[in-house]
Copies of this chain bind each other. A is one copy, B any other.
Amino acid sequence: MGNYEHRKATQRVKFTDENGQAVAGQDVHVKLANHKFLFGSGANDIIPPEEMTDEEKAKSPIPADRYDVINGISHKWMDLFNYGTMHFYWGTYEPIEGHTRFENHMRTAKFFRDHGVKVKGHPLCWHTVCADWLLKYDNATILQKQLDRINRDVSAFKGVIDYWDVINEVVIMQVYDRYDNAVTRLCKDLGRIRLVKEVFDAAKAANPDATLLINDFNLSESYRILIDGLLNAGVPVSAIGIQTHQHQGYMGKEKLEDILERFSFFGLPLHFTENTLISGELMPPEIVDLNDYQPDEWPTTPEGEERQRKEWKEMYELLFAHPQVEAITGWDFVDGAWLGAPSGLIRKDGTAKPAYDELKKLVKEEWTTDYTVHTDSEGYAEVTGFKGEYEAAFKNADGSEGSSKFTLE
């Protein structure tokens, strides 16, 4: 555990029962209920069918033979993660100007919040999955609509979603040439730094307490130079988002350490925002844009699953050991999502792969705190453990079972 000391805290905690009486001279069982560290996954439509309203079920009918599978997947998600990334792609969140998926997204986001899961919205500005209806406007109007969109959505979800990928993949944005889109037009017009500043300033104004991320798959010095420029231009970046979609093979420890070393330079928290390790055949190395490879069948295999387990374990351990890393998010939770890849921790049939069990063991067994302390005559005890929210169990003065909560940080 030597590598994880920075994840822990020691605090003198006062335990009181529900009547405010000190729990004095007693054994108190303390247990980490929710990590401060953000263990995350992609998170859309994750509400278990059994918790859906009749109206919701009517809207998105679930085939009878999938009901238990989907329930199981939802529970597996909730059993492991405390951080979810919800899609706010402009083109799908607002497919027709003025018609958003607000209600659906708010319902899901509140479900997460009420279950102790923090939610991040992804992303507010991006050249891909952009809204086509923007293309009819001139650049000044597009910029205004982009800023209005940010203000609208960040304001509406404030208190429910307080993490945002404000802008995505800026390194390539100005030279993105696969198809015309409104955001590349803006970037070509304003340049990267000015566009990023505009969208961050809008997000910050709408929710000053939010954690605002920049996010990229290009982890070369270009991205570091960009961040350097943004911070010197006063852009309110709260955390640096790092993508690692490793469909072409695990990058390995050395490359990860290089990324950590280079991007920790700024002293900002690092979020590993989108991470993929697959459990099937690797994507050929000559593919440059991952979207160009989507085979008809891309099965998970036993040997692939064992490889994926080892890779996820090494990556989790390495990132959890680095003091500046605050979040690790696996991209797909279930196989067959993006590109149809065997990229999940869960197979299509809802069963858990070895990687799921491995990560659950790390997060819920190895990196957890669960022991008994003894309080002094005033109800105080020193607690040492992983940072996060705790539950304490003890006997009330009348001998009944009592409990309380506290935070180690």
Contacts and interface: CB of A to CB of B under 8 A. Distances in A.
A134 to B, nearest CB: 22
Contacts of A231: 193
6 A-B pairs closest in CB distance: A229-B229, A232-B233, A193-B232, A222-B222, A193-B228, A225-B226
A229 B222 contact: no
B192 A228 contact: yes
A228 B191 contact: yes
Contacts of A192: 225, 228
A227 to B, nearest CB: 9
Decide if the interface of chain A is mainly helix, strand, loop or mixed: helix
Contact of A222 (B172, B221, B262): B221
A397 to B, nearest CB: 59
A73 interface: no
Given A191-B265, A265-B191, A229 B225 contact: yes
> Quick one: which of A172, A224, A229, A262 has the most chain B CB within 10 A?
A229
Interface string A224-258: 11101111110000000000000000000000000
A224 B174 CA distance: 10
Contact of A193 (B175, B191, B197, B229): B229
A174 to B, nearest CB: 7
Contacts of A47: none
Contacts of A197: 232
Contact of A194 (B175, B193, B226, B232): B232
A255 to B, nearest CB: 14
B233 A174 contact: no
Contacts of A222: 220-222, 225
17 contacts: A171-B221, A171-B225, A172-B221, A174-B221, A175-B262, A191-B265, A193-B231, A194-B232, A197-B232, A220-B222, A221-B222, A222-B225, A225-B225, A225-B229, A226-B229, A229-B232, A233-B233
Contact of A228 (B175, B229, B265, B266): B229
User: What is the size category of the interface that chain A forms with chain B?
Assistant: 20 to 34
Interface in A3-30: none
Interface in A164-196: 171-172, 174-175, 191-194
Contacts of A225: 171, 192, 222, 225-226, 229
B233 A229 contact: yes
A262 B265 CA distance: 28
Contacts of A220: 222
> Quick one: which of A175, A192, A228 has the most chain B CB within 10 A?
A228
A187 to B, nearest CB: 11
Nearest to A229: B229
A265 B190 CA distance: 10
Nearest to A262: B175
A172 B174 CA distance: 22
Given A192-B225, A229-B230, 8 more contacts: A171-B225, A174-B221, A191-B266, A194-B228, A225-B225, A225-B226, A225-B229, A232-B232
A134 B231 CA distance: 29
Nearest to A230: B229
Contacts of A230: 229
Nearest to A197: B232
Contacts of A172: 221
A174 B172 CA distance: 22
> Quick one: which of A172, A193, A194, A220 has the most chain B CB within 10 A?
A193
Contacts of A232: 193-194, 197, 229, 232-233
